[in-house]
Amino acid sequence: MATSVETSAGARAKYEPVIGLEVHVQLLTISKIFCSCSTRFGAPPNTNVCPVCLGLPGALPVLNRKAVEFATLAAMALNCEIRETSIFARKNYFYPDLPKGYQISQYDKPLAEHGFIDIDTSGDKRSGASGAANSKRIGITRVHLEEDAGKSLHEGFAGSSEQTAIDLNRSGVPLIEIVSEPDIATPDEAYEYLTRLKEIILYTGVSDVNMEEGSLRCDANVSVRPRGEKKFGTKTEVKNVNSFRFIREALEYEIDRQIEVIEGGGKITQETRLYNSVEGKTYGMRSKEQAHDYRYFPEPDLLPLVVDEKWQAQIRSTLPELPEARRERMMANYGITAQDAHVLTISRALADQFESAAKAAKNPKRVANLVQSELMGRLKAKGLEIEQSPISMKGVAVSADLVESGAISGKMLKDLYDLSFERGKDFPEVYEEEGRPEQSRDTSEIEKLLEKVIAENPKQVEQYRAGKKTVAQFFVGQVMKLSKGQANPQMVNQLVAKKLG
Ligand SMILES: [Zn+2]
């Protein structure tokens, strides 16, 4: 656990953390932002390069139209205002993986500004609670376009114990940087913000936001100040954290560390810190550059970027229904709970599958219920994600219709689901393999079973006739057991009432 044991609850209560997040998202264009080199991940080192992305003298950048459209679409999904004319700027710094000696980015006139994400602060979506009381708006300061740098390799090649190698395949890959306002007050809110951000970007389709492959990277700025104080404390920046969970842990650690330093009479140094997830601690790396250290100036090789009204309208028309709106609509259309809606909208593909299955089913609500009651638990037990489920949404819909029509019982459905998971096959296939089993609706057979139960349990019969009607459930249970779950429970109920009543 990252949290230091030395920070007392009392000390924590005195301070208020202030968190801002900078997220870099790699855009899914086929070619780079200023040249036609491929952006494919995992290509042999230095094979996707040309004079432009190698930064050779005289090479000139040509802006990728698709990168602009993707960045604009993402900014729109994040509720930003699009700036009609934005300016590319040079951010000057020296680093081995940056051959030009500068990165082309945007500075004082970014592509988009003034957006927001609404996050759920109830902390427990299972409660089904939603609405303004549990919602907090986190401002987005800006979304701008920039190019990625190359990568320094410290391992995985001959001589790596003495040398560092440079792979420039990533140099010039298009990125958007999404900068939040310092509106985030807790590590949990940071986690929730990142989760919602990732989900929104995924829905737009402009990035695969895959943290392992580096297509989503997050830096966190954090400071603490005495509660009620308006002025910000000195912040530190936590860099290179490779999962949302670690970001939460790093922030928990860093907040406590800062409180301890201040409580001990010390001062916070503005610096960049790295998080070690094994130790659960952050370590100071270098003092943080100020903006003037980068000597930003307008990029002389690129014209101002103009995304006029017409182009904006065109891009806006491709904006899909976003997760929050989709959840609201699905809850209304299918009568499902907030929790159901959250699970079913994890990805756009899954939500699409669910909706087409539910629309085709006799009772859409039953489809949603089966996902929650029968599918999720089995997936969890097997450690599978819903996308890896052997039973497809269409399969769930088929099974829901069979229960709806009374062809199979709930118990039979459970058994068939178990078989699906055992065999790794979809429900309709297993249903066929099992010879399309049907629950028994043959009254004479159930009557025989019931007579047997009555004969063997005179005491319960007496109780029932003496007025203890709840004993009926005992008889139903016994008959269901003898029928191996094949009997129709409603029918058994009726027969019990008839025979004993
Ligand atoms: Zn290139």
Task: Render pLDDT for 16-70 as a digit per residue (tens, 0 to 9).
Answer: 999 999 999 999 999 999 999 999 988 999 999 999 999 999 999 999 999 999 9
- Other Cβ atoms closer than 10 A to 124: 10
C-alpha 27 – ligand 1 centre gap (Å): 16
* Cβ neighbours of 162 (radius 10 Å): 5
Contacts of 58-63 spanning 24+ positions with Cβ under 8 A: 60/301, 61/33, 61/34, 61/35, 61/104, 61/299, 61/301, 61/302, 62/34, 62/35, 63/33, 63/34, 63/302, 63/305
From the CA of 84, how far away is ligand 1's center (Å)? 27
| Across 361-386, average pLDDT | 86
pLDDT attached to residue 39 = 94
Q: How far is the CA of 18 from the centre of ligand 1 (A)?
A: 40
Q: Which of 40, 21, 133, 28 is nearest to 78 (CA)?
A: 21
- CA 87 to centroid of ligand 1, rounded, Å: 21
Give the model's confidence band at 288: pLDDT under 50 very low, under 70 low, under 90 confident, else very high.
Answer: low
**pLDDT band at 287, cuts 50/70/90?**
low
> Mean pLDDT, the chain, as a whole number?
88
Ligand 1 centre and the CA of 208: distance in Å? 22
Q: Are 51 and 268 in contact (CB under 8 A)?
A: no
pLDDT greater than 50 at residue 364: yes
Is residue 6 very low, low, confident or very high in pLDDT (cuts 50, 70, 90)? low
**Which H or E run includes 488?**
none
User: How far, in Å, is the centroid of ligand 1 from the Cα of 162?
Assistant: 29
Q: Any idea which of 247-256, 377-386, 407-416, 442-451 has the lowest mean pLDDT?
A: 442-451
Terminal-residue alpha carbon distance, the chain = 62
> Cα of 51 to ligand 1 centre, how many Å?
6
The pair of three-digit structure tokens given for residue 4, joined into one six-digit string: 């230091």
Residue 242: CB atoms within 10 A of its CB come to 15
pLDDT digits (tens, 9 = 90+) for 139-184: 999 999 999 999 988 887 788 888 899 999 999 999 999 999 999 9
> The pTM is what?
0.78
CA 50–ligand 1 middle distance (angstroms): 4
Distance, CA of 143 to CA of 180 (rounded, Å): 9
Lowest mean pLDDT among 95-109, 118-132, 213-227: 118-132
State the distance from the centre of ligand 1 to the C-alpha of 52, rounded, in angstroms. 5
- Give SS3 for 275: strand
Given a cut of 60, is residue 464 above it in pLDDT?
yes
Residue 280 has pLDDT above 90, yes or no: no
How far does the centroid of ligand 1 lie from the alpha carbon of residue 22, in Å?
Answer: 26
CA–centroid distance, residue 151 to ligand 1 (Å): 15
Name the band, by pLDDT with cuts 50, 70 and 90, for residue 11.
confident
For ligand 1, the distance from its centroid to the CA atom of residue 59, given in whole angstroms, is 10
Q: How far, in Å, is the centroid of ligand 1 from the Cα of 68?
A: 17
**pLDDT for position 419:** 95
**10 Å Cβ neighbour count for 397?**
26
Give 160 Cα–ligand 1 centroid separation in angstroms.
26
For residue 147, how far is its CA from the centre of ligand 1 (angstroms)? 11
* Ligand 1 centroid distance, CA of 3 (Å): 44
